[in-house]
Amino acid sequence: MGHTITEKILLKHTKTKEIHPHEFIHARVDICLGNDITAPFAIEEFEKLGAKSVFDKKKVVLVPDHFTPAKDMKSANQCKILASFAKKYGIKNYFEVGKMGVEHALLPEMGLVMPGDLVVGADSHTCTYGGLGAFSTGVGSTDLAAAMVTGECWLKVPESMKFIFFGKLNKWVGGKDLILHTIGDIGVDGALYKAMEFCGETVELLSVEDRLAMCNMAIEAGGKNGIVAPDKLTAKYEKAIKNKSRSGIGKFYSSDKDAKYSSVTEYDCRLIEPLVACPNLPSNVKPVRAIKDVAIDQVVIGSCTNGRISDLRLAAKVLRGKKVRPGVRLIVIPATQKIYLDAVNEGLAKIFIEAGGVFSTPTCGPCLGGHMGILAEGERAIATTNRNFVGRMGHPKSEVYLSNPAVAAASAVKGKICHPDEVM
């Protein structure tokens, strides 16, 4: 029996000759990641273990991105813990404000994650890197501590689910819509502890950035990881990265033809329209045209899902020459410093500001209800983020709708959730 791409990567990182779904393994990690919320707990456990050093100074990555720039004394202390640990143990990949970005956009941009890697991070959206053909998954802070000491993690091999996408994409439809469609179909626990493998002719034509967005939200269906087999587009993406922290373009794996899947699902993309996930679950998905007269108070364009330069270009395309409706707050957050600079150089920042929006330094900020856009009681937002649970962006009686950047931008102009065609 053949292996899926997920099984092949896991097998390559073990000392065993064969693995099967549901087996427990000890696997070697290529990168272990922590942020300003999760890493302090991991560092505390690391110190309790009495470790004298991390397993590899180049493979431990610390990114303070959730409450940064520090919004208060508590968040400042959290960041100080990371800075002190990085200095004490000589961590090479510690990214302070001015160099940092939203972690799951920053690591691919820096060339820290490559195809074939095994990545663990104390953040649930670590599954993003499957868009590069890596096995990546979120772990707890104690697991991160163990990985920083030993360079290994303890995992159960997941079963794989195959999702085949075919047909030409409709206008304004991208990777965010494909993953929302999938989650809407299978539910928030439809892929519980399973590998979600995305493939088919449509996925093969998607940009790497759209693939990263799809894999980013695998966790919203309960997935252990999301993954797309790397190809020529992946190789081009890897070769284009300047100042790479690692050499080469990684190891390209693909699933065997006789690999076993727990399920195989096909989607005709010609039937998929721009979608919106309505409160209070990412699975509560509806076509944007089916949503009538839902007024909004705030629009957030950014996050580890849709804060890349292609996302900002799409939003700017909709907003160019237009004005945000009075009474609506538009917050645009590029995911990294490089994306920020690119947006400035390309004139995108000017478009956002002239439209009446605010253009922020990189931060996770409003996505988790941290800062830079907290919702008050009764307020409603549409965002390109990945979660819309009760109280996710602020008050428990606020509401969050999820969409792609074009829908979010159009909604800012209209003052209510709408299809981009309504403002173009």
pLDDT digits (tens, 9 = 90+) for 219-266: 999 999 999 999 999 999 999 997 788 888 899 999 999 999 999 999
Which residues of 259-302 form beta strands (DSSP E)? 263-268, 275-277, 285-287, 298-301
pLDDT single digits (tens) 374-415: 999 999 999 999 999 999 999 999 999 999 999 999 999 999
Instruction: Report d(CA 366, CA 125) in Å as an integer.
Output: 16
Distances (CA, A) of 390 to 38, 62, 229, 278: 22, 29, 34, 11
Instruction: Report d(CA 30, CA 168) in Å as an integer.
Output: 36
What is the residue-level pLDDT of the chain in tens, covering all 424 positions?
Answer: 799 999 999 999 999 999 999 999 999 999 999 999 999 999 999 999 999 999 999 999 999 999 999 999 999 999 999 999 999 999 999 999 999 999 999 999 999 999 999 999 999 999 999 999 999 999 999 999 999 999 999 999 999 999 999 999 999 999 999 999 999 999 999 999 999 999 999 999 999 999 999 999 999 999 999 999 999 999 999 999 977 888 888 999 999 999 999 999 999 999 999 999 999 999 999 999 999 999 999 999 999 999 999 999 999 999 999 999 999 999 999 999 999 999 999 999 999 999 999 999 999 999 999 999 999 999 999 999 999 999 999 999 999 999 999 999 999 999 999 999 999 9
List, in order, residues 6 or more apart from 111 with CB less than 8 Å away.
238, 241, 243, 244, 245, 246
Instruction: Report d(CA 258, CA 162) in Å as an integer.
Output: 13
Distances (CA, A) of 392 to 185, 236, 280, 380, 399: 22, 36, 9, 12, 8
Instruction: Report d(CA 156, CA 134) in Å as an integer.
Output: 17
Exposure string over 225-238, b if 16+ CB within 10 A, otherwise e: bbbbbbbeebeebb
Instruction: Report d(CA 248, CA 238) in Å as an integer.
Output: 8
Report which residue type is found at 311: D
Instruction: Report d(CA 17, CA 30) in Å as an integer.
Output: 20
List, in order, residues 6 or more apart from 8 with CB less than 8 Å away.
253, 255
394 touches 375 (CB < 8 A): yes
Q: Which residue has the tokens 């900002």?
A: 312
| Cα atoms in the 13 Å half-sphere on the side-chain side of 385 | 29
Prediction pTM value:
0.96
Query: H-type helices in 264-404, by residue range?
Result: 303-306, 309-319, 337-345, 348-355
Q: Set out the domains of the chain in order of their start, with CATH numbers.
A: 5-266 (3.30.499.10), 276-422 (3.30.499.10)
Pairing of strands 93-94, 159-166: unpaired
